[in-house]
Structure 1
Amino acid sequence: MRAAGRRAPALLALVSAALIAADTVTPLEPLRAFGSAVYGGLEDAASAGVRWASGERRLEELERENARLRADLLAARRTIPSPAQADGYRVASAHVIGFGRDGTVTVDTGSDGGVDRDMTVFDGDGLVGRILRSGPGTATVQLATASGASIGARLEGSREVGLVTGVPERGLLRLSLLNPSAEVKPGDRVVTLGSRDMRPYVPDVPIGTVVTVEPAPDALTRTALVRPFARFSALDLVTVVLGPQPDGAAVDASAGKGATKAEDEAGDEAGGADAAKSGSKKAKGA
């Protein structure tokens, strides 16, 4: 009896401790878990929001940088010396705004800008083609690689004359020299021969380089495949040759409207006394 009486207080103490532990720990665990889920989710959401805002700012920065680089590229292309400018022609700049399936592209300059059919079109790399038809605000260009294209050409070095036609399925050109024994080799440069009244092609515009000479010992002409300088799948800014420019005048790339740059400069120097030469009236300077 005494042993049982001594064990009873100890047992009561253990039961009390277990009850206290259950009362102090177990009810709080769900609260702790709930708080962790709620505040942990809020922290994750806040972190995601910060990352999203940072990503948005980075995207805006990249878009601004892309726009700046594109503007710089277009400005640089406008200053690239071109064959027609070097030879003294009036020119008009235009952007390619559409690609056709028949070997044509559409540009955003037309008859309102002085562009007419059978005018030479080139870019900073070389010959693009000729104006096929022109509307008030747009024009259609037949590419040099089109199946129906036919361009008088010559070898830049030997000046041998021939005809260039398109090979659209290969993105190349075929040069047929009139002299069947003419010497031609890979790497030779080909330029335009030039047409009567400079239309549809002005002379000496770079066309491309010979890549393969086709063997044809009994042929009446000598033929070779030519890789064009112009990248016809990536055309952007092009130039249209409007016609010969007046002697001493600078090229007016704004489609040849109004007075030329040389006339404007002459009018500025005259200070009004020689305003008729510039095509516009200027106030007399003091």
Structure 2
Amino acid sequence: MAMREKRWRDRLEPVDRSSRSTLVALVLACATLITLDHVGGALDPARRAVGEFVGPAEDAANGVVAPFEAVPRWFHTRSSLEDRVTALKAENALLRQQVATTALDRNRLAEYDGLAATASTVRHTLVPAHVIAHGPAQSFSQTVTIDAGTAAGVHADLTVLNNDGLVGRVISATRSTATVLLLLDRDSVVGGRLGSSMEVGFLQGRGQLSGDATLDLKLLDGAFIANKGDTAVTFGSEDGAPYIAGVPIGKVTAVYSSPRETSRRVEIKPFVDFTALDLVGVAVPSGTRSDRGLVKPGQSAAKEAGR
């Protein structure tokens, strides 16, 4: 047994001595190179030689690898640019919309102010509403639909007007909408009076909706001659239904008569432009409960519109 261990020890000792010698030689070589480099830069020529040999190889490797490294960056950059372009398109669309609606907003604000002044003039509370549809042409009736109904306090036989004058009257209502028979309809008959003389008569539409549409006024006093340019206003109904008193209707543009007629026919040009109806007000009794802001006499409608 002792003999065997001695033989193994004899075999390992030369290997251990060789490894230690190699390690010592490497340490001495490293120390020598560090000393030479620190003292006089003796290794600079060797460095340059290695750099001249290895540099082109590194450049070539970078040229091959760089396109592959750029692929992820390209996809990331492209995605970011697409997101940015999408955001800019949305922003531009919003700006274009704001520019396009500036005139509309300005006109509606002016209409709200006019409606407030009208509420004070007629001394009635108004439910503001917008015209959202016109009656079908094939029905041969002149009606519009507004976006206020019973929930807003609107019901049949209420006066509808805007900041220019009389629009018509409500003939039916649902919870959220109402149908308005326009002043121009053939079935529309309104009692009115001339402002300068207080003469009374009845105005009837001709069923036309064009910009030159007119009304016919038949005065109770057939001998009275109306003056061109005189103003016609409503003389009102009992309890203000369907028409309240004092709402401007239009002005006299012509007077027609003949020997066979027992009364003169007066032509009235309405103040309201029925081809451009938007904001209107429905006259409701004081104390009406509504799901929207009411325009009351002496109150700023523009303030209500901003709520």
- Scaled to the shorter chain, the TM-score interval is 0.5 to 0.7
Could you tell me which of 229, 244, 265 is aligned with 2:271?
A: 229
- Tell me the distance in 2 between the aligned counterparts of 1:55 and 1:110: 39
* Alpha carbons 1:180, 1:220 under 8 Å: kept: yes
Which position in structure 1 is the counterpart of 2:123?
88
Number of residue pairs the alignment of both structures matches: 202
Q: After the TM superposition, which residues 1-286 of structure 1 pair with which residues of structure 2 at under 5 Å, given as runs?
A: 61-80=95-114, 81-100=116-135, 101=137, 102-169=141-208, 171-244=213-286, 254=292, 256=294
Structure 1 residue matching 2:224: 3-state secondary structure: coil
When normalised by structure 1's length, the TM-score is 0.64
What stretches of structure 2 of length at least 5 have no aligned partner? 1-87, 299-307
**Following TM superposition, by how much is the alpha carbon of 1:96 offset from its aligned partner in structure 2, in angstroms?**
0.1
- Tell me the distance in 1 between the aligned counterparts of 2:193 and 2:228: 15
Moved more, 180-189 or 118-127: 180-189
* Alpha carbons 1:110, 1:138 under 8 Å: kept: yes
Letter matched to residue 194 of structure 2:
L
- Tell me the distance in 2 between the aligned counterparts of 1:87 and 1:253: 23
* Alpha carbons 2:214, 2:267 under 8 Å: kept: yes
When normalised by structure 2's length, the TM-score is 0.60
- Tell me the distance in 2 between the aligned counterparts of 1:245 and 1:182: 41
Structure 2 residue matching 1:174: 3-state secondary structure: strand
Q: Identity of paired residues, percent? A: 33
- Tell me the distance in 1 between the aligned counterparts of 2:105 and 2:98: 11
Q: CA RMSD in A?
A: 2.9
What stretches of structure 1 of length at least 5 have no aligned partner? 1-53, 247-251, 263-286
* Larger Rg computed on CA atoms: 2
List 4+ stretches of structure 1 deviating above 6 A.
54-59
- Tell me the distance in 1 between the aligned counterparts of 2:297 and 2:113: 16
* Alpha carbons 2:190, 2:203 under 8 Å: kept: yes
Q: Which has the higher helix share?
A: 2
Letter matched to residue 128 of structure 2:
S
**Following TM superposition, by how much is the alpha carbon of 1:65 offset from its aligned partner in structure 2, in angstroms?**
1.4
**Deviation string for 1:191-239 (max 9, x for gaps)?**
1110001010001100001111112344332211111011111100000
